[in-house]
Structure 1
Amino acid sequence: MYRYDEFDHAFVRDRVAEFKDQVERRLSGALNEEEFRPLRLRNGLYLQLHAYMLRIAIPYGVLSSRQLRQLAMIARTWDRGYGHFTTRQNLQLNWVKLVDIPDVLAALADVEMHCIQTSGNCVRNVTADPYAAAAVDELEDPRPWCEILRQWSTLHPEFSWLPRKFKIAISGAAEDRAATAFHDIGLRIVKGPNGENGFRVLVGGGMGRIPYVGQEIRSFLPKEHLLSYIESILRVYNLFGRRDNIHKARIKILVNALGIDKFREEVEADWEATHKSAVDLPEDEKRRIMSYFAPPDLPPRPARDEAVAARRASDPAFANWYKHNVLAHRVPGYASVVISLKEPGRTPGDASSDAMDLVADLTERFGHDEVRVNYTQNLVLPHVAIADVPALYDALVPADLATGNNELLGDMICCPGLDYCNLANARSIPIAKEIAKRFEDPSRQEEIGQLRLNMSGCINACGHHHSGNIGILGVDKKGTELYQITLGGNPKDSASVGTIIGPGFRAEAVPQAIDTIVDTYIENRDEGESFLETWRRVGAAPFKEALYGAR
């Protein structure tokens, strides 16, 4: 996993000291808010609705138990005892005081963490498949390439002031579990014509005010050209991207304004002119970084454990949790285990300091000292012996961390909304809680099957509502909070943007509307058909009739 070298240690400590001086000048009045704003944003600090919010980088969503325990301590000491895991695999603290920020940053540096490039018009945290190096369908571990891009992009002199923020995701598996098509650049590791691995490159995806699915700019890019080719994409974006309108400054707007063929032409011309003199990754440096990601020693075990099988047969709650939250592993006798942060009645993605401490302990006991953050706002232990799964479950139950709803309706993605964010138009957390309560019966969720429900409190789409099979967007209409529903979004392969189904609903009507949509799906589905498959087959008409026919 990511580790500091001598340069990182010195650089991050220097940044902490520098920002401590800037905070002291802001508190003394020597800097006003306008002068301070670009300085704090370079250090991941936002001024939200009620307090400052600090966004902590978790590179490609990977944490050690020591780091997770430190995050728990920081939240307990300088915040309100909890943090919020985000769709960029980061952690946000929503109640930190400005005077305490330097101490928080110093505590993060103690465990090789920081907040650099978690905000601002730069390359943000590169995200990846949370099951990397464990998934049975994986072609290659994407995390080393995430780390290579992290090191390359950090304080890159040409790309620190882009027209707008920039997001990259990488998947190395047959199934896209990193939503690569909804990123500024999406990278899929694929087999090339000669059998070697390389990258399929997508560009111009994104959500927000104008959502787009990324388009293919290269069907196959050899690995050795990754940095120079991405540099050409960013150079073209930096040159032609709009800076006069914040709402039209993302690369997705440029790609769709030029057209993918013209954009590709510009990138290829730049690459042909520059890549021979560009700094692509030296082979010895690539080997050094790859060595950081050697998989843990996992001696093969029997694929079936009789004690686990007996527990599943005798304990329905355990069996339900196992079915949904325990995933197949590439090494026989092991599994990846999803720790749900979606207990009904709780804020999706929130984890208390006590919960983080517990997961850190379990990571040491059962998880080879590695825990992942999923972009769906859950935690994952990627390497757990199947024989240890019952003990892990028994430790999670008292902490309400054993909800068996992975990939089901109760596993909602939800942004903080108007309860925290000054950009939001509507509340999202209370609506999400009401929906979760309505569908908390495991048998009801089992009947529905896999279904992705995402919710955002504003058009910026931090809750990824565009990519939800069911998406909910909070909007303000003349002082009234309304909730617009979209159907048919998909973040995975055959990615799609959801379709607005009709007029918005008042807050109190949203849970019933979701119930109606689910009932309509069940009535219309063929045997074994998913929500997305049914939607694509029958279209909007039956859903519109069910929702609005009586209006």
Structure 2
Amino acid sequence: MYQYNEQDQNLINARVEQYRDQTRRFLAGEIPDEEFRALRLMNGLYIQRHAPMLRIAVPYGLMNSVQIRKLADITRKFDKNYAHFTTRTNIQLNWPKLEQVPDILAELAEVQMHSIQTSGNCLRNTTTDHFAGIIPDEVEDPRPWCEIIRQWTTLHPEFAYLPRKFKIAVAGSTEDRAATQVHDIGLHLVQNDAGETGFEVLVGGGLGRTPVIGKVIRSFLPKHDLLTYLEAILRVYNLNGRRDNKYKARIKILVNALGTEEFTRLVETEWDIIRATETRLTDEHIARIKGFFEPQPYAADAVDGLAVLENQLADNQEFSAWYERNTRDHKVAGYRAVVVSLKPHLKAPGDITDVQLDAVADLADKYNFGEIRSTHDQNLVLAHVAAGDLYQLWQSLRDQNLARPNIGTLTDMIVCPGFDFCSLANAHTLTVSEQINQKFDDLDYLHDIGDIKLNISGCINACAHHHVAHIGILGVDKNGEDFYQITLGGSSREDASLGKIIGRAVPQADVANTIEKVLQVYIDNRTDDERFIETVRRIGVAPFKERVYAPVN
């Protein structure tokens, strides 16, 4: 992974001291609330329903064991002994004290972490596939390109005050595990007919009040032109994006207003101007960044563990179920990628305790070259585990309540913090996720119905991406009571689509029973090996609506 140089470290250290002085002056009454609000947001600090919330950047989801241990220690010293992973692969602390945030930032800086540009109208954390660099179907590892973008976007003076926040995602595989099509810019690593690697560029995706699937504005961009082309897109947005209405300020609104053809023309025109004066990425620079992402020192004899693994799988049904749901293929023979489930039964999805963080750091050192990845789905990944170590790793994860074999199932939910924490939320989400977990706790049933993405958002801002879930749940307020709108048929993958509302919102007490009715329609209508999303697309939402709203006899 990328390591800070002296310039990087000095920049982060200076930012900490700058914010420490700003906090001191605010607490002394020298800076008014509204002025300090802009300053704290630049450093990832929100004021939520009960306490401040600090969002910590995890560029493209990649961390090491030293950083994880530091996070565990910070939760003990400054929070309530846990942290929360988000859909942007970042980390949130829900209970820091405002006056202690500069101390937290100083400790983060010791391990090359920060919270810069995790909030505000700026270029946010670039995300990617959590299996980047190890998945067999990859065109090219997208992480070096994410790092190139990170360096370019960090404190970029021209794009510090955009019309609205701006998010970029990069995918390097035929399967899209980074939800690129619902980002402001989505980048797909592709090869042209000449065998050259470059990018397909999508613009104008996003969720929230106006969910939109991104549009392709360039089918092939030479990789050396990546930053100049991104700059052209950002300039067109910065000049033309609306600033009079924050609900209409995202780039998706601009693309829709201008039309894809006209927006593309403006970008290409701006790109011609930029290329006349700015240099392209050089082979030397690209190679230097790629040097931080060299393959791990894999053991040549790791394949010897496969025979032992086969016996362990045959002898232990519980281990076999975990292996099937929570591990993935690796391009190096004898290795697997392990997904660490942060969705334990009746616990808040995405949360992890200080004890669990320390345990994950230890396991990463022992089995995974000290590397940990956070995912778009609010889980963790140990991407390089030898086959012969899987059983021992599983036992250790099970001891920490981190081995629930539910990855990709109904209970592997993406859930925002909702009304319990967020000042924007209209309805509770954690209560609903608990209700669903209680209703669907039978692993045999979960595994039988197979791959399903269920996401729960507490408001229309859609932080849990409910629009692109197979089953989406949106909390709404009706006269002070929590109701929930159900959508079906969404996807954030390469077959991206927006879910369709099936009918009127249901009260909180009925959510799990409503999901049960939806699943029964799937069970009654599915063909052999047909996934839930495929059945919905084949038969439409009408049969689901009929079952859900059928009169009770």
TM range (shorter): over 0.9
What TM-score do you get using the length of structure 2 for normalisation? 0.98
Which residue is equivalent to 2:381? Answer: 380
Which residue is equivalent to 1:19? Answer: 19
Q: What SS does structure 1 have at the residue aligned with 2:435?
A: helix
Deviation (angstroms), 1:434: 1.2
Deviation (angstroms), 1:345: 0.4
**Does the CA contact (< 8 Å) of 2:174 and 2:494 recur in 1?**
no
Q: What SS does structure 2 have at the residue aligned with 1:411?
A: coil
Equivalent AA in structure 1 for residue 309 of structure 2:
V
Which residue is equivalent to 1:390? Answer: 391
Residues 231-380 of structure 1: pairs in structure 2 closer than 5 A: 231-300=231-300, 301-302=302-303, 305-380=306-381
Note the alpha carbon deviations across 1:48-90, whole angstroms, 9 max, x for none.
0110000000000000000011011101110000000000000
Residues 131-530 of structure 1: pairs in structure 2 closer than 5 A: 131-300=131-300, 301-302=302-303, 305-530=306-531
Deviation (angstroms), 1:193: 2.3
**Does the CA contact (< 8 Å) of 2:454 and 2:469 recur in 1?**
yes
1:6 and 2:2 correspond: no
Equivalent AA in structure 2 for residue 471 of structure 1:
G
Equivalent AA in structure 1 for residue 187 of structure 2:
L
Taking the aligned partners of 2:314 and 2:33, their CA distance within structure 1 comes to 61
Q: What SS does structure 2 have at the residue aligned with 1:118?
A: coil
Taking the aligned partners of 1:156 and 1:280, their CA distance within structure 2 comes to 17
Taking the aligned partners of 1:454 and 1:278, their CA distance within structure 2 comes to 43
Deviation (angstroms), 1:281: 2.1
Taking the aligned partners of 2:277 and 2:233, their CA distance within structure 1 comes to 16
Q: Which deviates more from structure 2 when the two are superposed, residues 282-291 or residues 164-173?
A: 282-291
**Does the CA contact (< 8 Å) of 1:474 and 1:482 recur in 2?**
yes
Equivalent AA in structure 1 for residue 363 of structure 2:
L
Q: Which deviates more from structure 2 when the two are superposed, residues 297-306 or residues 125-134?
A: 297-306
Taking the aligned partners of 2:222 and 2:335, their CA distance within structure 1 comes to 33
Q: What SS does structure 2 have at the residue aligned with 1:517?
A: helix
1:63 and 2:63 correspond: yes
Taking the aligned partners of 1:314 and 1:274, their CA distance within structure 2 comes to 63
Residues 29-108 of structure 1: pairs in structure 2 closer than 5 A: 29-108=29-108
Taking the aligned partners of 1:550 and 1:184, their CA distance within structure 2 comes to 43
Deviation (angstroms), 1:527: 1.1
Deviation (angstroms), 1:303: 7.3
Q: Which deviates more from structure 2 when the two are superposed, residues 395-404 or residues 269-278?
A: 269-278
Note the alpha carbon deviations across 1:366-413, whole angstroms, 9 max, x for none.
011111001100000011101100010010111111101111111000
Taking the aligned partners of 1:59 and 1:145, their CA distance within structure 2 comes to 11
What TM-score do you get using the length of structure 1 for normalisation? 0.99
Q: What SS does structure 1 have at the residue aligned with 2:385?
A: strand
Equivalent AA in structure 2 for residue 476 of structure 1:
D
Q: What SS does structure 1 have at the residue aligned with 2:13?
A: helix
In structure 1, stretches of 5+ residues that fail to align are none
Equivalent AA in structure 1 for residue 551 of structure 2:
A
Deviation (angstroms), 1:279: 3.8
Equivalent AA in structure 2 for residue 305 of structure 1:
L
Deviation (angstroms), 1:230: 0.6
**Does the CA contact (< 8 Å) of 2:340 and 2:402 recur in 1?**
yes
Q: Which deviates more from structure 2 when the two are superposed, residues 30-39 or residues 43-52?
A: 30-39
Taking the aligned partners of 2:54 and 2:282, their CA distance within structure 1 comes to 35
In structure 2, stretches of 5+ residues that fail to align are none
Note the alpha carbon deviations across 1:279-301, whole angstroms, 9 max, x for none.
43233222211111111111343
Equivalent AA in structure 2 for residue 115 of structure 1:
S
**Does the CA contact (< 8 Å) of 1:173 and 1:189 recur in 2?**
yes
Q: What SS does structure 2 have at the residue aligned with 1:66?
A: helix
Deviation (angstroms), 1:304: 6.4
**Does the CA contact (< 8 Å) of 1:412 and 1:452 recur in 2?**
yes
**Does the CA contact (< 8 Å) of 1:117 and 1:124 recur in 2?**
yes
Deviation (angstroms), 1:478: 2.3
Note the alpha carbon deviations across 1:150-189, whole angstroms, 9 max, x for none.
0001111111111000000001111111010010000010
Taking the aligned partners of 2:161 and 2:236, their CA distance within structure 1 comes to 14
Taking the aligned partners of 1:385 and 1:276, their CA distance within structure 2 comes to 50
Note the alpha carbon deviations across 1:273-329, whole angstroms, 9 max, x for none.
221312432332222111111111113432762221122112111110000111110
Which residue is equivalent to 1:109? Answer: 109
Note the alpha carbon deviations across 1:511-534, whole angstroms, 9 max, x for none.
100111111111111111111110
Taking the aligned partners of 1:304 and 1:84, their CA distance within structure 2 comes to 34
Equivalent AA in structure 2 for residue 62 of structure 1:
L
**Does the CA contact (< 8 Å) of 1:2 and 1:59 recur in 2?**
no
Taking the aligned partners of 1:140 and 1:115, their CA distance within structure 2 comes to 29
Aligned residues: 551
Taking the aligned partners of 2:293 and 2:303, their CA distance within structure 1 comes to 25
Q: Which deviates more from structure 2 when the two are superposed, residues 23-32 or residues 451-460?
A: 23-32
Taking the aligned partners of 1:279 and 1:58, their CA distance within structure 2 comes to 29
Taking the aligned partners of 2:10 and 2:149, their CA distance within structure 1 comes to 20
Taking the aligned partners of 1:19 and 1:431, their CA distance within structure 2 comes to 38
Equivalent AA in structure 2 for residue 413 of structure 1:
I
Equivalent AA in structure 2 for residue 441 of structure 1:
D
Q: What SS does structure 1 have at the residue aligned with 2:159?
A: coil
Q: What SS does structure 2 have at the residue aligned with 1:121?
A: coil
Taking the aligned partners of 1:460 and 1:278, their CA distance within structure 2 comes to 37
Note the alpha carbon deviations across 1:20-40, whole angstroms, 9 max, x for none.
111111112222211210000
Deviation (angstroms), 1:233: 0.5
**Does the CA contact (< 8 Å) of 2:417 and 2:458 recur in 1?**
yes
Q: Which runs of 4+ in 1 moved over 4 A?
A: none
**Does the CA contact (< 8 Å) of 2:303 and 2:387 recur in 1?**
no
Taking the aligned partners of 2:150 and 2:447, their CA distance within structure 1 comes to 40
Q: What SS does structure 2 have at the residue aligned with 1:404?
A: coil
